[in-house]
Structure 1
């Protein structure tokens, strides 16, 4: 059983972005959950992109699988899928960053939710940082707008991949 990184008493820093797609929720989720990380997580200064994924031995379709996203600056992180509700949401946690985040946060809980939105879907993505002692002000202050920009760009690329799949169908 996984030990969850964030508990009810933790003071975290959460950043949420959302975007709509014309694809219906089941199709959106089917494409989004196992999406190719290097395709959508590209560099957005000052943050690196994902260059590859190592050590993934299970499909990304149930709680439990682990993998190691590799960043194009040579750093990496441990990722574990902690929750998975077919067709609507999944959550994961990131720990053991080997880049600057290792000096700011104990880890991150990420969550994607896919909801009906007219004839399409609304994708809501939250990144919840668990700050290291004395670092919350950095994450909530100067770091947050830079990270939000990274998330907006990555989610826009996710939607491009989802829309491209709709065009092929």
Structure 2
């Protein structure tokens, strides 16, 4: 089991976004969990997009699964699925960034929650950054609105894919070389 990155005593920086879909929670979760990362995590300046995923433990549906997102700036990170509640939520940690995030945060805890919302679903996505010493002010200040914009764009693309039943809708393309191994 992966050791948890963030504990109760840590002073973190949390960013949460949410969006609704007309799909049921069951359909939303079924499509969201294995979603093609390069399809939805596109570049939003100043942040890179994901071009492919390497070393993925298949399937991506249990705590302990691992993979390495590869970014279009040549960097990568380690991702570990830490929690998985079928049909409702999953959480993951991102560590060992090889880009600028390695100088700002020890790592990130991400979490997706899928909740009933009338006939559809409310998706809530949270990123919790564990700042390196002396870097909290950067993450909590100028970094936050830029990262929130990145998350909003990625979640909107997730919803587009969910609404299309799991296939990228017209206008959303996957990058070439996208391989999940």
Q: TM-score, normalised by structure 1?
A: 0.97
| Secondary structure of the corresponding residue to residue 154 of structure 1 | helix
Matched, 1:24 2:19: no
User: SS of the residue aligned with 1:48?
Assistant: coil
Structure 1 CA distance for aligned equivalents of residues 110 and 126 of structure 2? 6
What's the counterpart of residue 62 of structure 2?
62
Count of aligned positions = 167
Shift of 1:2: 1.4
| Structure 2: 5+ residue stretches without partners | 168-181
Q: Equivalents in 2 of 1:153, 1:133: separation in Å?
A: 29
Contact conserved, 1:23 with 1:166, CA < 8 A, in 2? Answer: no
| Partner in structure 2 of residue 144 of structure 1 | 144
- 3-state SS of 1:18 partner: strand
Structure 1 residue runs of 4+, over 2 Å off?
A: none
> What is the CA-CA distance between 1:166 and the residue it aligns to?
7.6
| Cα distance change on mapping 1:52 and 1:88 into 2, 3 Å | same
Q: Tell me the TM-score normalized by structure 2.
A: 0.91
Distance 1:57 1:116 in 2: 29
| 1:93-108 aligned within 5 A | 93-108=93-108
> Per residue, is there more helix in 1 or in 2?
1
Query: 1:14 touches 1:128 (CA, 8 Å); kept in 2?
Result: yes
**In structure 1, C-alpha distance between the alignment counterparts of 2:70 and 2:97, rounded to whole Å:** 10
Per the alignment, residue 37 of structure 1 pairs with 37
* CA drift at 1:77: 0.1
Cα contact 2:61–2:84 (8 A) shared by 1: yes
Deviations 1:65-85 (A, max 9, x none): 100000000000000000000
Q: Which residue of 2 aligns with 1:7?
A: 7
CA distance in 1, matches of 2:101, 2:148: 15
